[in-house]
Amino acid sequence: MSLLSKLTFGMYGRTNPAPDTTVPGETRPSTETGRRPSLDNWMRRELMLANYVDFELRETIQRIRYMDRVDPRVKRIHARTARAAAKGGLRLQTSSGNTKLIKAWKDFERRLHLHRREKLESDLRGFMMEGNLPLQWVLSTEQPRVIGAVRMPSETLVPLVDKTGRFESPERAWRQINPVTGEELTHFALYQLTVARLTPDNYDDWGSLGRPYLDATRAIWNKLRMTEDDMVVRRKTRAPQRMHHNLPGADPDQLKDYQAGVDADQADGNWRDYYTNSKDAKVTAVGGDANLHEIADVVHLLDTFMSGSDMPKGLLGYFEGLSRDILEDIKRDWFDSLDSLQDLAAQIYDFGFRLDLLLQGVNPDQYDFSVMFAERHAESLNQRADRALKYQAMGVPRDMVWDAAGLDPAAVRKQREAEADDLDPYPGDDPGSDPARPRVSITPGNGRQGDSSTSISN
């Protein structure tokens, strides 16, 4: 049986375990207990061993993209989360203060457009919608440099792994194919394509790709959209007030003429009184539906849909029944998910910078550095400033104090030196001691909820 026949049987046949009868000379994978796996799992394994795309992941990604295009709520979840995560951009965190390393990072950031916020937001939005962030490192043919980081469509990539989930060859680790024709477009070495995965089913198995951010909300989203459409149809068909015209003894021709005149008046927008010469004719008003305000089913589906995202629904404009204290608690959880998203994406850029240093003949392991997003959300700006002041009061080195405050120590040091040269009437000489700094004192148990209180004086 060919692979196409197996896939056709798996896609259109039954989904119960495969029967015991098999084609002579053909064996199917079985479990350790001797029981045959379900046909879905068997087909998935056959696809992986055949180095073909995961159709289920591809369908999920296409559906999430459609949801992002047609539903403003889904679009705002992706856009606002990516915008909040990319706020502040990237920065190089290092304690060495090596000027060559800092300059190399600035050049790398400028060449790959990582200093542009729209580039980072595009990568993060694709990361959330696809569940994977595959970046192809484009190398220069003139000099050993990384000159580009192109985000690839993850639904066309196939990891070339063995049965244990490990890459078979570092020179041929990823394969890009056309999902429609099955034609191989190109292949990548392990260093050419770096992939970050969002909540994979198995972290140790590289054949298990990530899952989109809202993949578990697809069924609820379909029900929510259907219920909202039904609600609109119900309001349109049952809400307007109608008139019941009763003409006893009228023949069909008279009824037809009377209805034609009434319909003509309503079509022209002339809502006026009706006149008839029938003795017992009556026109009675029929009220619309009085229960149109009952939308508890829509609210339930909306709450269920929003539970699949860490973003509070209050940030989308749904404030009914949401207190301020609960909103703050939910926002903390959302900030934690933002920090996790930033860490996963920052690992990719960190690998690209290390690759760029290796191409220049520099060993990145001799420096202590890491690439991270500048703005974290686990703490507010006031909390970070308070922690930095406490570090200063404890005598922590200045670089660590600036880093705790969310500032780039290298940029602060460079700016301070530039300002010192501008204010110094004799540049180049010993500037002397630093100007007097504010005195910081900490009073334990004097802050809110028993925390310490920070006092600053000159």
- pLDDT number for residue 288: 62
Domain-by-domain residue ranges, the chain? 51-214+321-375, 235-316, 379-458
pLDDT at 14: 37
Rounded to whole angstroms, what are the CA distances from 434 to 98, 271, 397, 417?
Answer: 22, 84, 14, 11
Per-residue pLDDT tens digits for 209-222: 999 999 888 988 98
Q: How confident is the model at residue 122 (pLDDT cuts 50, 70, 90)?
A: very high
Total Cβ atoms within 10 A of residue 283:
14
Contact 167, 159 (CB under 8 A): yes
Centroid of chain to Cα 203:
19
pLDDT(63) > 90: yes
Cβ burial 386-405 (10 Å sphere, 16+ → b, else e): bbbbbbbbeeeeebebbbbb
Mean model confidence pLDDT for the chain = 77
Closest listed residue to residue 272, CA positions, set 298, 299, 243, 292: 243
Per-residue pLDDT, 30: 42
- 224 or 405: whose pLDDT is higher? 224
Residue 62, token pair as written in the block: 């296409």
What pLDDT, in 10s, does the model give residues 72-82?
889 999 999 99
Q: Are 102 and 410 in contact (CB under 8 A)?
A: yes
Asked whether the beta carbons of 330 and 338 are under 8 A apart, the reply is no
The pLDDT, as a whole number, for residue 195 is 94
Q: Tell me if the pTM is above 0.85.
A: no
Task: Average the pLDDT over 310-327 and give the result.
Answer: 68
Q: Which tens digits make up the pLDDT trace of 341-379?
A: 999 999 999 999 999 999 999 999 888 889 989 887 656
**96-113 pLDDT per residue, tens:** 778 889 899 999 999 999
Give pLDDT, residue 284: 72
